Amino acid sequence: MALSPKLAKRLKKFTQEIRQKTESYMGYPVSKDFEYEALLPLLQYPLNNLGDPFIDSTWKVDSREFEREVIEFFAELLRAPKNNWWGYVTNGGTEGNLYGLYLARELYPKGICYFSQDTHYSVSKNLHLLNMRHIMIRSQDNGEIDYEDLRETIRLHRDLPAIIFANSGTTMTEAKDDISKIRLILDEFSIANRYIHSDAALCGAINPFLEPRPHYDFADGADSISISGHKFIGSPIPCGIVLARKEKVDRIARSIAYIGCLDTTITGSRNGFTPLVMWYAINKWGKEGLALRAKHSVETAEYTEQQLKSIGIEAWRNHNSITVVFPEISDDLKEKYQLATANGITHLICMPNIQKHHIDAFVADLEKEQKEKDV
């Protein structure tokens, strides 16, 4: 069966529109310099990774073997404890965060979750879904959590388990909460019942190649970490990776007889194609390639900040950030370059596909607009 000529024409037009829209965005953290043609034949099959990726199921049309290799790669990158890690390829950062919070709630049902006001909007939704008690902590001007406010709040509730939701790359300013500082606060009040989740959606695959390396992973004290796959790495389908300490996951796992597997993930049926996308990408890039992508993005962000300042724009960014922040610009330019704006600031994110000529074009448009206003 085929589409009618009218619908085929509509689909062709939509494809052309999407191609044009993909060319112009610079305000959202989604890489577009990818090519997965080698995987196209696999779209003919109902790939479904049921249940736990480390336990074979009676369902065989899956990519579990590739998913395991992806998780192992990121476990090493994120310095997970040897023989004490577990994870899976998710639908995206939100699911990874939901998993981390779910695990924390199951371990500490009476715990309080602490998160900053700059935390991604989906986290409040996740906390509501899980019916978790929570307290929002102030953020510093750069978007990083206010450690003194966190310290004082934890002091007032030191009799209860502490669940920390830490950010390693906030939405608007790419601020990174320092888990080592948070651990010192928990130690100060002798809080043994604790859980730290690290939301590293954008920066999880960038941080390992930065100097100094941000404090955000398992070696720094995280119990679980969520990363987005379609952001820094790049994927045509939203996806992500979540990793957690296996000793904690084992305490909530349960066996499902009819699939012959453990139920350890958020969803039952899971995308079997995206693990292949991540597998292809990490084998194509390798650690060396990811390091070069990170270096390019940071250098482009530095260039962007300098160019904006050269035309009088008060641009700034956090240390080693690929996100450049500046005062809110006109709706016309926000629309043209698809630039995210909130609370009076606009940001531009220098993903690996962004080149200096893209920045030059934007800066030229902004400068032209400024001059026209001054006339």
Instruction: Report the catalytic residues.
Output: 321
Burial 198-237 (b: 16+ CB within 10 A, else e): bbbbbbbbbbbbbeeebbbbbebbbbbbbbbbbbbbbbee
Can you give the length of the chain in residues? 375
Task: For the beta carbon of residue 356, count every other beta carbon within 10 angstroms.
Answer: 13
Q: Are strands 224-228 and 240-245 parallel, antiparallel or unpaired?
A: antiparallel
Beginning with the edge strand found earlier in the chain, give each strand of the sheet holding 341-342 in spatial order.
323-327, 345-349, 341-342
- Distance (Å, rounded) from C-alpha 90 to C-alpha 240? 5
193, 109 contact by CB (below 8 A): no
Q: Are strands 134-137 and 162-167 parallel, antiparallel or unpaired?
A: unpaired
Which amino acid is present at 60? K
Q: How many helices (H) and strands (E) does the chain have?
A: 10, 12
Q: Are strands 323-327 and 261-263 parallel, antiparallel or unpaired?
A: unpaired
The SS3 of residue 192 is coil
With left for phi above 0 and alpha for psi between -120 and 50, is residue 368 left, alpha or beta?
Answer: alpha
Task: For the beta carbon of residue 320, count every other beta carbon within 10 angstroms.
Answer: 21
The token pair that represents 68 in the structure block: 């395991």
Q: Are strands 341-342 and 224-228 parallel, antiparallel or unpaired?
A: unpaired
Beta strands in the chain (DSSP E): 85-90, 112-116, 134-137, 162-167, 194-199, 224-228, 240-245, 254-256, 261-263, 323-327, 341-342, 345-349
